[in-house]
Amino acid sequence: MFLSLPLAVPLALALPAAGDPVVAVQAGPIHLVQDGRVIEGGGTLLISGGKILAVGADVSIPAGAVVVDYGPEAVIIPGLVAADSRYASSIAAGRTASPSLRAIDQFDPYSNLYSALTGGVTSVYLAPARGRLVAGQGAVVKTGGGPQVDRVLTDSAAIHGSIAAEARRTPGYWVPPVPATVDVGLGVEQPQLPRTTMGAVVALEELLALIAGDDELAELYGPQTAADLGRLVDEGRPWRMGAASEEEVRALLEFFAEAKLPLVLDTRVSSVELAEDIARAGVPVIAAPHVRGTTDFGKTPDSDWPRLDGVSILVAAGVRVAVVPARIHRTADLRFASALAQRGGLDAAQALRSITLTPAEILGVADRVGSLAAGKDADLVVLNGAPLDMTASVLATWVGGEVLWKAHEAAATVIEVLELHLGDGHVLRPGQVLMEGGRITEVGARVAHPPGATVVRGSAAMPGMIDALGHLGLEGSRKAFSSRFDLKRLLEPGDYADRRVARGGVTTVNLGSRDSSGNSPTMAYKPAGSEVERMLIEAPAAMRMTWTSSIRSEAGDAVRSTLKKAAEYKQKWEEYEKAIAEWTPEAAKEKDEKSEEGEEGEEGDEEKEGKDEEKQDNKKKKKKKKKGEKEPARPVTGEWTGTVTHDEDPSPMRLRLRERELTLEGTLRVEGLHDLVSLTGGRDEYAVTLSGLSSLGWLELTLERDDQKLTGKGRIQGVEGPEAVIELTRSSEDYPVAQRPERRKQKPAPKIKGKPKPPGINPELEPIRRAMAGTAAVIVSVSREDEILECVLEFEKYGIQPVLFGAENAYKVADRLRGRVAGVLPALQAVATSARTGTRERNRYAELAKVGIPVAFHSSAEEGAVELATSAAYAVSHGMSPQGALRALTLDAARMLAIDDRVGSLRAGLDADLLLLDGSPLQVSTSVLRVWVNGKEIR
């Protein structure tokens, strides 16, 4: 500790007060503005007690300091200083010269000016009022800060005034005589200067004379004006005077040069012609970029056309210029104003200075704000891009060492790379991707940067890779999936292995069972996803089948029979869909009317229908009630209303019951009994017994259930006489108090006569039906060339383009497969050698890809999928086109599996699965740096 002390020299300069915690803020480039310095490549700011302790590239962080790291992409600049703001009132005093009007009186230290903080503006000038020759005293305050922050930078920054047109409409001044009597009269209004520029100059001269002691003028300008203004002049306050035209600027320059008083020009850039004069007079200027908004201003060359070069001309002449937002913009748009000045020719460093240190200097508060240096206030702005890059936005605004505003936790991420591989073979150089809400919303050379977006820069990016057939997620299971198995049940948010595979670049896996005998479905999903709902892409995504058989003559039989069944199944659905499209309830009605005439016929129909139903669902039929047979005992949950008769006097009664595993609870209300009786009891088949305590005594009910009726007897213990007779009918099946869902059979939708019935979904055949429609895939294992051709032909009959799995000899018939298969998943080993070919190697992937047959990589492994990129790189190293390999890993794989509407390429609307690479993809030297799945980074 002692040894390290001499090293911490910058710390020693401004040691924190004891007890104040130290905060270290880290980011990428830090623009100090002081002496134009920029710490490129990352630096640290040490903050304590609201002040900056040290700033530099290698500042040693003291033990116990809180470290806030915005990452290497973030940029830190000093809190912006607005030399003018909208936060002042427009109500001026009655007098033309009102030096005692203090802008600071309008400042509310109890509220933060969030509208400024959102734009990174941390200090603002408050004008006392506008539209007076001397409106009052301006102030400079911080736009936010806790109670410990001294938010008032100066309560008297300048004598604020104007000789522009706005100040030449000063109304006459009138002192109301109180009380107005016959003797006193109402008095008359006293006219006030100025009405013209020369009037303004005369008034200024008179004010100086007044200060010098000309009492005659006291009545004209108010009794206290001389003292108030005199004090300000003695204190050396600058005169911040507004001027709108060249003449006014010239008049001000001349007057103040003669009076030897400090002047700050508050002007539009029409003063460019006078740049040299202003520079010679050493007068600083507060200027806004001269933009007009979309308003008309006159069509002649003399009209006040927008121009942006004003600031740069002034700066070039040697004038200190503080840039303020144009009238049409908000105070928070200060950075935009400076960017406009930059467009007018100002260099970037000057542009940044014109909204930070220069205004701080002109306002006399540069000792506290305006730049980042040890000892100054810790006011800083964290941006996600270069300070004057208008696509960059504010991530956080710090005032007095505290974060007062930060961008909302935006789901938006922008990736900016030099080389953006879209997956479909196109490359954007440079390219940007905007990801919002888990999806890609924009892809292009430059995309929108929503405020507060996380911006990531790198050299290359590509879509997440797809393992066309893998096992990640099976957890070692070797069992085949039943076609009835709901594959979604395998989904769970990514664990370590899943994330590790994703970080290797494989974001989508087409999960199939290891056992590939027989037909089994696969599921396309994202193992590393964090939300179950968004993890699933398609289930089932494909149906796996096997053509090859150990008995060669039987090869393909199983596939053929499945396809045939599937075709029949499809036919049924088509018929149903056609029927339902033609059917309307009215048509059914007509049919009803017709059939009423021939009753028998209809019955026959019904029977037929019944039979159909039987075929579909045997169980239903079994449950069907036969006439005369008692309904099976069902729960009695619900509301029962009826009467209770006692002494031949029926009174209404309501019973509400809830049944759970034959035990009952509920409530009873009976007329004449003024309390709600809580009941408990049980049910034994049809017998229901209930009891509870009422105000009259213990109450017991013995009831018998018959369909929708409950009948029985009730008695109250201790009450003599006959038992009461209870008759209740069910009025509802809901237990109104218990809002918990009851497991109950859904009431079947009322049957509409004549409405076509859906044929029911067969999970075994459904994926194949979808494959026929082109929305799912069939992966068929086949190897020999004759079998391949036969297989393809068979599938062609049903309109399916299969994905061939293995297909070792496909290269021999490649020409005849083109356009007839969705793709091929060749064997894992890309390079095939054999003694027969000598040293001539075959590349299984390249040879197919070359002739236009899509190929895809698959791992047939769980975590082994992580090597997919290496496998592809290996294929490239043996002659495969890198572009083709990239497509095989992304879009071609997605197309084969018909999931290219979700993944596989970078396109607006698709899932935001993206890899950030440190070099061109498919170079062996390239590695995956960062990975996003559904817009979320996988760490």
Query: Residue 208 contacts by C-beta under 8 Å, 6 or more apart in sequence?
Result: 259
Using the rule CB under 8 A, give the single segment among 96-104, 376-384, 572-580, 796-804 that binds another protein: 96-104
Question: Which pair of structure tokens corresponds to residue 543?
Answer: 């149906």
Output the smallest distance, CB 118 to another protein, in A: 9
Output the smallest distance, CB 390 to another protein, in A: 24
Q: How far is CA 864 from CA 386, 499, 828, 903, in A?
A: 41, 13, 12, 21
Q: Is 839 in the site for another protein (CB under 8 A)?
A: no
- Is the CB of residue 541 less than 8 Å from the CB of residue 776? yes
Work out the angle between the directed axes of helices 197-212 and 225-234 (0-180°, nearest 10). Answer: 90
Question: Which pair of structure tokens corresponds to residue 687?
Answer: 């017998």
Taking CB under 8 A as the criterion, the residue among 93, 264, 360, 938 binding another protein is 93
Using the rule CB under 8 A, give the single segment among 100-108, 233-241, 319-327, 354-362 that binds another protein: 100-108
Q: Is 152 in the site for another protein (CB under 8 A)?
A: no
Question: Which pair of structure tokens corresponds to residue 32?
Answer: 């100090």
Output the smallest distance, CB 136 to another protein, in A: 7
Q: Is 183 in the site for another protein (CB under 8 A)?
A: yes
Q: Is 530 in the site for another protein (CB under 8 A)?
A: no
Output the smallest distance, CB 448 to another protein, in A: 24
Using the rule CB under 8 A, give the single segment among 98-106, 314-322, 426-434, 444-452 that binds another protein: 98-106
C-alpha Rg value of the chain to the nearest Å: 42
Question: Which pair of structure tokens corresponds to residue 844?
Answer: 């299984």
Q: Is 182 in the site for another protein (CB under 8 A)?
A: no
Long-range pairs for 425-434: beta carbons < 8 A, 24 or more residues apart: 425/883, 425/886, 425/887, 425/891, 431/461, 433/461, 433/906, 433/912, 433/914
Query: Within 890-929, which residues bind another protein (CB under 8 A)?
Result: none
Question: Which pair of structure tokens corresponds to residue 169?
Answer: 């409409």
Sign of the Cα pseudo-torsion (175, 176, 182, 183, in order): negative
Q: Is 178 in the site for another protein (CB under 8 A)?
A: yes
Q: Is 176 in the site for another protein (CB under 8 A)?
A: yes
Quote the CA–CA distance of 170 and 173 in Å, as a whole number. Answer: 9
Pick between residue 2 and residue 110 the one whose CB is nearest to another protein. Answer: 110
Q: How is 408-471 classified by DSSP, letter by letter? A: -----EEEEEEEEE-SSS-EESSEEEEEETTEEEEEESS----TT-EEEEEEEEEEPEEEEEE-
With contacts defined by CB under 8 A, how many residues of the chain interact with another protein?
30
Pick between residue 98 and residue 890 the one whose CB is nearest to another protein. Answer: 98
Taking CB under 8 A as the criterion, the residue among 2, 18, 110, 533 binding another protein is 110
Quote the CA–CA distance of 611 and 525 in Å, as a whole number. Answer: 41
Taking CB under 8 A as the criterion, the residue among 60, 68, 106, 567 binding another protein is 106
Amino acid symbol at 74: A
Q: Phi/psi of residue 660, each to 5°?
A: -140, 115
Taking CB under 8 A as the criterion, the residue among 26, 44, 48, 112 binding another protein is 112
**Helices within 260-333 (DSSP H only):** 275-281, 310-317
Q: Is 111 in the site for another protein (CB under 8 A)?
A: yes
Q: Is 186 in the site for another protein (CB under 8 A)?
A: no
Burial state string for 321-353 with b = 16 or more CB within 10 A and e = fewer than 16: bbbbbbeebbbbbbbbbbbbbbebbbebebbbb
Q: Is 120 in the site for another protein (CB under 8 A)?
A: no
Question: Which pair of structure tokens corresponds to residue 847?
Answer: 């040879």
Q: Is 114 in the site for another protein (CB under 8 A)?
A: yes
Output the smallest distance, CB 345 to another protein, in A: 38
Query: Within 649-678, which residues bind another protein (CB under 8 A)?
Result: none
Output the smallest distance, CB 176 to another protein, in A: 5
Using the rule CB under 8 A, give the single segment among 83-91, 575-583, 628-636, 637-645 that binds another protein: 83-91
Output the smallest distance, CB 326 to another protein, in A: 24
Farthest CA pair distance, the chain: 131
Output the smallest distance, CB 104 to another protein, in A: 8
Helix and strand numbers (H, E) in the chain are: 24, 43
Q: How many CA atoms lie within 13 A of 828 on its CB side?
A: 13
Quote the CA–CA distance of 250 and 582 in Å, as a whole number. Answer: 86
Using the rule CB under 8 A, give the single segment among 179-187, 376-384, 447-455, 789-797 that binds another protein: 179-187
Using the rule CB under 8 A, give the single segment among 174-182, 323-331, 585-593, 861-869 that binds another protein: 174-182
Sign of the Cα pseudo-torsion (80, 82, 83, 88, in order): negative
Q: Is 189 in the site for another protein (CB under 8 A)?
A: no
Q: Is 162 in the site for another protein (CB under 8 A)?
A: no
Q: Is 125 in the site for another protein (CB under 8 A)?
A: no
- Is the CB of residue 715 less than 8 Å from the CB of residue 724? yes
Taking CB under 8 A as the criterion, the residue among 6, 223, 476, 741 binding another protein is 223
Output the smallest distance, CB 101 to another protein, in A: 5
Pick between residue 93 and residue 893 the one whose CB is nearest to another protein. Answer: 93
Using the rule CB under 8 A, give the single segment among 52-60, 99-107, 232-240, 582-590 that binds another protein: 99-107
Query: Within 403-462, which residues bind another protein (CB under 8 A)?
Result: 405
Taking CB under 8 A as the criterion, the residue among 87, 107, 256, 485 binding another protein is 107
Taking CB under 8 A as the criterion, the residue among 50, 131, 136, 161 binding another protein is 136
Taking CB under 8 A as the criterion, the residue among 98, 441, 519, 781 binding another protein is 98
What is the helix (H) or strand (E) element at residue 614, kind and residue range? helix 599-616
Quote the CA–CA distance of 881 and 845 in Å, as a whole number. Answer: 10
Q: Is 58 in the site for another protein (CB under 8 A)?
A: no
Pick between residue 151 and residue 353 the one whose CB is nearest to another protein. Answer: 151
- Is the CB of residue 323 less than 8 Å from the CB of residue 339? no
Q: Is 511 in the site for another protein (CB under 8 A)?
A: no
Pick between residue 183 and residue 647 the one whose CB is nearest to another protein. Answer: 183
Q: Is 122 in the site for another protein (CB under 8 A)?
A: no
Using the rule CB under 8 A, give the single segment among 95-103, 166-174, 368-376, 450-458 that binds another protein: 95-103
- Among 200, 210, 215, which residue's Cα sits nearest to residue 135? 200
Helix, strand, or coil here: 37?
coil
- Is the CB of residue 531 less than 8 Å from the CB of residue 523? no
Q: Is 196 in the site for another protein (CB under 8 A)?
A: no
Q: Is 89 in the site for another protein (CB under 8 A)?
A: yes
Q: Which residues bind another protein (CB under 8 A)?
A: 89-93, 98, 100-103, 105-112, 114, 128-129, 136, 176, 178-179, 181, 183, 223-224, 405
